[in-house]
């Protein structure tokens, strides 16, 4: 059985926002594995530990810089990894705001190569937060799917996944999904593990294949994205907070007066 996990490197803002030429400056970002994908990866690794003969493969769309993040996923239990990148992606997209259609075009090519029994994705990414890649991928490859999964069991012999998922309005659903399938994993389904020193060392020797568009059989025209960043700025912030100075007795009196004037307390 093979489980394919889509993982994404996302930029996290540090203490200061720096806008450079209409985008967040590289110096202001710290890169890490997308939070939702960590839960998807942990779900896959737990399944590999509980079932026989399971291979966990990660798929990432990202530049060479993302290999550090990919190696961390390998250190946490993935068996091998695939990274997709091409000059056409870099030229068209700069550093990575690919629209859903383009991501699905690239990831579906990996699914065709790997032919996994189960694809796990995070519900969304921390940067774009579209929340659409997993279900759109399922539609593209014509697999069964379930979204926002917060509990998962797999019966490999029966070829089914029993999923518990969240629906709107506080409704929860328990259903069986026939494999092959695509599941989007919600945070809280498990507790992602830390990479051990042994796992980090082993990750350095695990296979990490880099594929370009030609190797995937995709034309550069097929990944022309529809998204364009037109402007980026740090919004002005304002506050109605009132600051009182003085000792405890003085500020307590000012607070009481403020609450009376606001109608919160009487007299």
Is residue 248 included in any domain, yes or no?
yes
How confident is the model over 7-23, as pLDDT tens digits? 999 877 766 777 766 66
Residue whose structure tokens are 């390998």: 74
Is residue 121 included in any domain, yes or no?
yes
Q: Is 164 in the same domain as 102? A: yes
Q: Is 101 in the same domain as 152? A: yes
Residue whose structure tokens are 């989007």: 184
pLDDT band at 76 (very low <50, low <70, confident <90, very high): very high
For residue 231, with 0-12 CB atoms within 10 Å meaning exposed, 13-18 middle and 19 or more buried, which class applies?
A: exposed
Q: Is 257 in the same domain as 146? A: no
| Rg, Å, the chain Cα set | 23
Domain boundaries, position 107: 2-223
Is residue 214 included in any domain, yes or no?
yes
Q: Is 131 in the same domain as 261? A: no
CB count within 10 Å of CB 88 equals 18
Q: Is 128 in the same domain as 250? A: no
Is residue 233 included in any domain, yes or no?
no
Q: Is 179 in the same domain as 250? A: no
Q: Is 141 in the same domain as 264? A: no
Q: Is 168 in the same domain as 249? A: no
| pLDDT given at position 95 | 46
Please state the domain count of the chain: 2
Q: Is 217 in the same domain as 246? A: no
Q: Is 216 in the same domain as 242? A: no
Is residue 94 included in any domain, yes or no?
yes
pLDDT band at 26 (very low <50, low <70, confident <90, very high): low
Q: Is 32 in the same domain as 155? A: yes
For residue 223, with 0-12 CB atoms within 10 Å meaning exposed, 13-18 middle and 19 or more buried, which class applies?
A: buried
- What distances in angstroms separate CA 160 from CA 156, 157, 164, 166, 234, one per listed residue? 7, 8, 13, 19, 47
């Amino acid at each position: 059985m093979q489980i394919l996990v889509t993982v994404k490197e996302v930029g996290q803002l540090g203490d200061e926002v720096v806008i450079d030429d209409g985008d967040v400056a590289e110096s202001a970002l710290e890169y890490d594995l997308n939070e939702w994908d960590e839960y998807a990866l942990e779900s896959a690794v737990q399944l590999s530990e509980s079932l026989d003969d399971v291979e966990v493969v990660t798929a990432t769309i990202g530049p060479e810089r993302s290999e550090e993040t990919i190696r961390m996923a390998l250190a946490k239990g993935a068996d091998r990894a695939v990274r997709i990148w091409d000059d056409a992606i870099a030229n068209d997209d700069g550093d990575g705001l690919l629209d859903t259609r383009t991501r699905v075009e690239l990831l579906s090519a990996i699914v065709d190569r790997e032919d996994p029994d189960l694809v796990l994705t995070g519900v969304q990414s921390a940067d774009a937060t579209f929340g659409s890649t997993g279900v759109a991928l399922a539609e593209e490859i014509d697999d069964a799917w379930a979204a926002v999964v917060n509990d998962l069991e797999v019966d490999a012999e029966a070829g089914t996944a029993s999923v518990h998922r969240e629906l709107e309005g506080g409704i929860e659903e328990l259903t069986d999904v026939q494999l092959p399938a695509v599941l989007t994993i919600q945070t809280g389904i498990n507790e992602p593990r830390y990479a051990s020193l042994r796992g980090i060392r082993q990750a350095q020797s695990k296979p990490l294949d880099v594929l370009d568009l030609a190797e995937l059989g995709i034309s550069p025209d097929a990944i022309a994205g529809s998204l364009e960043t037109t402007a980026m700025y740090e919004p002005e912030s304002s506050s109605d907070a009132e600051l009182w100075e003085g000792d405890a007795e003085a500020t307590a009196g000012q607070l009481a007066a403020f609450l009376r004037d606001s109608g919160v307390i009487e007299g």
